[in-house]
Amino acid sequence: MSSETAFLSIEQLQARYRDGSLTPLEVVSQALNRLDRMEPGLNAVAYKMADHALAEANRLTAGLREGKDSGPLHGIPVAIKDLIDVRNVPTGFGSRIRAPVIADADAELVRRLREAGAIILCKSNLLEYAYGIAHPDIGQTNNPHDVSRTSGGSSGGSAALVAAGIVPLAIGTDTGGSIRIPAAYCGIVGIKPTFGLVPIDGVFPLSWTLDHAGPLCRSVADTAVVLECIGARPMHLVPISLNGLRIGIIPHHFDDPVVTSGIAQSMRDVIDKLGEQGATTTEIKIPDLAGINRELVNILRPEAALIHAELHAENAAGYAPATRSQIEAGFTVSAVHYVRAQRYRERMRALVEAQFADVDVILSPSVPYVAPHEDPEIAEDGGEGEMLASGFANMTGHPSISLPCGLSENLPVGIQLTGGLGQDSRLLSIALGIESTLDAYRRPSI
């Protein structure tokens, strides 16, 4: 998009479409021009759908002239993570195992986006099969705020395209933080909804019981619009006063040694700002919660190994070496460890849900450090790192959102807010109130 339109919100684009000062065709044309200017520097795009996007934009532009309105995303360009099926378009999975696969049909969430009027602009780059490693033949997606650093994973392409002003929204997936981590690194908003809210039919799985899909946007308001469309459930934003808001703090997410001093200071600043508005904070103590990422790995690895068994047998050498190692490690996890981890997660889900009788939201740093130069690998023992605060919500299924809250080392910092099961709309409303008190999205200098 042009500098004048690149960072408009969904609401602003829709208003200008309807008053005639802008058309979907102009916006898509500008988005493609901006994309061409920034690629391959960002390395955010796996497959560009220029001809399709322009044809759709022309059709939807004509539709508006005729009084036809497709819905809340009419004429809005969107990027789709390249493990999600888009009809008649190749899916590459960020891998070299096989040639890209042409999808016969849209994934259900893509169908819902189209039904709401969205225009699919491109497939976005990702870590190989969303498993935490960039294939060396493809490379990681670079961060719009500093292209020497990663935009995060595994939904890094989606996050970078939104942060760079190429599209106002993108879709990612999240198994241990893969929406919220890149959202934090890139200084945008990303939500992992309640488990099962957004259908994952047509999304290549990493872990059947941990996978989620959700939107990445530049504001909470845009996020609510998109989640309502792909979740097929109302996401009404209700003004919530911060005066009296009860915030829960999990000490382990703040005092682990992996948390940098800059992130720790950013979190203190956020808590102080919210306290000035009348919010209160309470420490939450959940027995054994500190081991949740270790148990997540005991679920993730065997499920991923089974999902990849056929591909591994067909062409194990096609994986990035570290991806292959992770898949092969999954074959060695015993059934006892897997079942024990599933029983543990049931207990943790109940214990986390019980906290919402006393607090309205749980606040954590989205990631314990700013964007590194390269994507870190998943620790062999499930030790803490990127997933310090994000993994627990994948295990329990609770909705969890990352919001930009300022800078450290001149790079974006995110706070994570987690709400009660099925309370996605309320979580978004709380996030909207908190967003208004924090440093908003900052445009990258590129």
pLDDT in tens, 170-223: 999 999 999 999 999 999 999 999 999 999 999 999 999 999 999 999 999 999
Other beta carbons within 10 Å of 261: 8
pLDDT of residue 2: 55
pLDDT of residue 64: 94
Number of domains in the chain: 1
Q: Which of 154, 155, 207, 366 is catalytic?
A: 154
Residue 439 predicted with pLDDT over 90: no
The type of residue at 57 is A
pLDDT of residue 399: 99
Query: 48 catalytic, yes or no?
Result: no
Instruction: Note the pLDDT tens digit of each residue in 405-427.
Output: 999 999 999 999 999 999 999 99
Task: With H, G, I as helix, E, B as strand and everything else as coil, classify residue 410.
Answer: coil
Q: Which of 70, 81, 124, 155 is catalytic?
A: 81
pLDDT of residue 88: 98
As given in the structure block, the two tokens for residue 11 are: 């609401």
Summarize the confidence of residues 263-274 as an average pLDDT: 97
Residue 383 predicted with pLDDT over 70: no
pLDDT above 90: percentage of residues in the chain: 94
Instruction: Note the pLDDT tens digit of each residue in 273-290.
Output: 999 999 999 999 999 999
pLDDT of residue 379: 62
d(CA 246, CA 415): 16
Summarize the confidence of residues 305-318 as an average pLDDT: 97
Tell me which residue range forms the domain holding 227.
1-446
pLDDT of residue 367: 98
Residue 263 predicted with pLDDT over 90: yes
pLDDT of residue 94: 98
Residue 155 predicted with pLDDT over 70: yes
Residue 53 predicted with pLDDT over 60: yes
Contact 288, 353 (CB under 8 A): no
pLDDT band at 381 (very low <50, low <70, confident <90, very high): low
Q: If we measure between CA atoms, which residue out of 209, 157, 146, 206 comes closest to residue 179?
A: 157
As given in the structure block, the two tokens for residue 39 are: 């690629």
Residue 384 predicted with pLDDT over 80: no
Instruction: Note the pLDDT tens digit of each residue in 62-79.
Output: 999 999 999 999 999 999
**Alpha-carbon distance values, 272 to 100, 275, 281 (Å):** 49, 5, 10
d(CA 315, CA 323): 13
Contact 177, 210 (CB under 8 A): no
pLDDT of residue 444: 87
pLDDT band at 443 (very low <50, low <70, confident <90, very high): confident
Q: Which of 70, 124, 151, 178 is catalytic?
A: 178
Query: 154 catalytic, yes or no?
Result: yes
Domain CATH code at residue 263: 3.90.1300.10
pLDDT of residue 38: 96
Query: In terms of residues, how long is the chain?
Result: 446
pLDDT band at 446 (very low <50, low <70, confident <90, very high): confident
**Chain mean pLDDT for the chain:** 95
Query: 81 catalytic, yes or no?
Result: yes
* 386-406 as b/e: b if 16+ CB within 10 A: bbbbbbbbbbbbbbbbbbbbb
